[in-house]
Amino acid sequence: MILKKTAIAALGGVFLLGACTDPGQINDPNNPNRKQQQGVLLGAGVGAALGQIAGGDTKATVAGAMLGAAAGGLIGHNLDKQEAELRQTLGDDRIKIVNTGDRLIVTMPQDILFPTDSSTVSSALYPDLQAVSRSLQNYPDTTVQVIGHTDNTGEAAYNQSLSERRAGAVASILINSGTSAGRVVTIGRGENQPIASNLTVEGRAQNRRVEIVIIPRG
């Protein structure tokens, strides 16, 4: 009975906030505020549950839902805004931006970043990386992961080292362009996280990439 009341109260907090939001808009990929709206509902759900646990009554649940919605909505709003600004600023349409609702993932294919078997960043990509750095400075309440990936051609140990060096090269440009070094973490994944089949030329090209992952601080 207690668990049932808790679930009902938590859901009530979510529905209270969700009633003002059009479900169609939340899932519309053309809605520039979709992640903000999703963040409100997600934050409301988490906040409602925490409020119920902490306070044990409906008032605490609603208060938790309100606080969670505010926090989730702010994070979602900032991600929506930063995503839109990056899309306007970046000059190469081969650079992909994915907004998951809790982070932005900026993916740069290796073929436009580096010469073959090299960790020296192409000078043509400097303006785009500098634009990303300016964006990071405009949204300082985030951490940044720079993750290097390769295909599975060659020795795994060499690919791991190459992915680390490439991540470090991209991170260095971001930092030298003004992003605080304390916010940036470099990671090499080598060939361990493919996003396409390594059995085709096209798939291997997709797997060779550097991702800049922008994560709001909770």
Give pLDDT tens digits along the chain (218 positions): 544 444 444 444 444 445 555 555 555 555 655 555 555 555 546 444 545 565 665 654 555 545 544 455 679 999 999 999 999 999 899 999 999 999 999 999 999 999 999 999 999 999 999 999 999 999 999 999 999 999 999 999 999 999 999 999 999 999 999 999 999 999 999 999 999 999 999 999 999 999 999 999 97
**Cα 75 from Cα 203, distance rounded (Å):** 33
- pLDDT value at residue 28: 56
Position 218 scores a pLDDT of 72
Those residues whose C-beta lies under 8 Å from the C-beta of residue 89, and which sit 6 or more positions away, are: 131, 134, 135
Could you give the 3-state DSSP secondary structure of residue 175? helix
What tokens appear for 31 in the block? 């809605």
pLDDT given at position 37: 59
- What pTM does this model have? 0.71
Which pLDDT score is estimated for 74? 73
Angle at which helix 156-176 crosses helix 126-138, to 10 degrees, equals: 60
